[in-house]
Amino acid sequence: MRDLALQALDAVTRGNVSYADARAIEIRDREITTKNGKAGHVSSNESVGLGIRVLVSGCWGFAATDDLSRQGVEAAAALALEIARASTAVRKDDVSLVPEQKYEAAWVSPYRIDPFSISIDQQLATLLAIDAELRRVPGISLAEGSMHFERRRQVFASTLGSVIDQTRYVSGAGFSALSFKDGEIQRRSYPNSFGGQYQLKGYELVEELRPLENAPRIAEEAVALHGADQCPEGEFDLILDSSQLGLQIHESIGHPIELDRVLGTEANYAGMSFLTIDQLGKLRYGSEIVNVMCDARLEHGPGLGTFAFDDEGVPAQSTPIIRNGLFTGYMTSRETAARIGENRSNGCMRADGWGRLPLIRMTNVSLAPGEQSLEEVFDAGRNGRPAIYMETNRSWSIDDKRYNFQFGCEIGWEIRNGKRVRMLKNPSYSGISTEFWNSCAAIASREHWTLWGVPNCGKGQPEQVMGTGHGASPARFRNIKIGGAYAG
């Protein structure tokens, strides 16, 4: 892989370039799903290829290939150069890059159990055992489970002299129980919706989740939701569990701080951003207790946005995004950092494979834990007015500036005097991003903080699907619009 990346770099630098880099990538993945006592989907894939990016006369060119012969590499290098030169006919401004240092490094993400050392039969048997536990509860109509594993090795080489060899192991697992009754479907998922929990770990993640132990409770809640009261409509204090808060961060903070989206190069896919450049350092994004960072370092946790270097060879960093409620930073690349006068990229460029250009992508965008106990967060619902607690995302919608949103959750609870007093079905809430974060009144402490993985974040055309991380503790928000998304 190293020789391949260096060979590509040598081929493209014969063309009098101002900058070039090459990424040789080898990916192995495995996906297993089950449905109602049977295997649903079992697949194992391997992919090897090369992407070459080049800057000529102020314009980018990119080409990729899975023909790794010398002729194939030379052809891809020539195509990247041809595209860059052709792009000069339509350029508006020359691309400028902030400086970066040369790095030579090798890095492997920590793991205890190589997921590919566990047989497919054993992994399938675990999912089928969970499936059986779910369907043992009367009223369960559909049980679904899944596991996903990936090993990705990438060697990056650039004209700065950097040669960086990284290997990342990703594991994910989860399950759902669905109950159909009287024309209504209720779902409960564990430990999160949309595939469960994903982290930069080995097979030990599956063991840590203790799925078999949690299956009966999840199934029982799915059935019980049919008999629960409809979530009320109105303004209430809202308490969110950490997994739902992770998605709230993703949509109303993570996407708006992507600087390419702010500058308009992402405008035709999921819109732009309300966070215009003039608001940097001025906008009151949240209340005083809201602190958010964009952090790709391993010490932040085993997130899907954790790495040693991004796809421009920039080291992983921690960047304050919101500090005591004030908006303080974007996610940048070497190009976009230059456009706003920064002197360095904060290392957020990633591609989902060898065949795609790197884009600014969320790393681990996390809400710092607060100083309150969980009891203090739930200390609501007094003076005759209940609070509403919601768990596990069911649906989401947000406008093309990432400002107005609506989220639905799988289950809710009415809170009175700090206690859960009744289960609620079809809970939802809506708001405006900055108003929502300014209403934050309490955040639970570090012991309740979880780094959640979002494996299915889409961006770019052609679409790239990327994993991101979001850490959060349960938190309480004042006077939020509740209900209305689902029929009573």
* pLDDT 10s digits, 196-218: 999 999 999 999 999 999 999 99
What pLDDT, on a 0 to 100 scale, did the predictor assign at position 130? 98
Local confidence band at 487 (pLDDT 50, 70, 90 cut-offs): low
Length of the chain (residues): 488
Counting beta carbons within 10 angstroms of the beta carbon of residue 122, is it exposed (0 to 12), middle (13 to 18) or buried (19 or more)? exposed
What pLDDT, on a 0 to 100 scale, did the predictor assign at position 488? 56
User: What count of other Cβ atoms lies within 10 Å of the Cβ of residue 338?
Assistant: 18
pTM: 0.96
What digits encode the pLDDT tens for the residues 23-66? 999 999 999 999 999 999 999 999 999 999 999 999 999 999 99
Summarize the confidence of residues 342-364 as an average pLDDT.
97
What residue ranges define each of the domains in the chain, with the CATH number in brackets? 2-227 (3.30.2290.10), 229-482 (no CATH)
Contact predicate 312/322, CB 8 Å? no
pLDDT of 7 over the 70 cut: yes
- Specify the residue for token string 């609070």: 387
Separation CA 392–CA 378 (nearest Å): 17
| Alpha-carbon dihedral 45, 471, 386, 181, rounded to 10 degrees | 10
What pLDDT, on a 0 to 100 scale, did the predictor assign at position 117? 98
Q: Determine the angle formed by the axes of helices 2-12 and 70-87, rounding to 10 degrees.
A: 40
What pLDDT, on a 0 to 100 scale, did the predictor assign at position 16? 84
Separation CA 205–CA 207 (nearest Å): 5
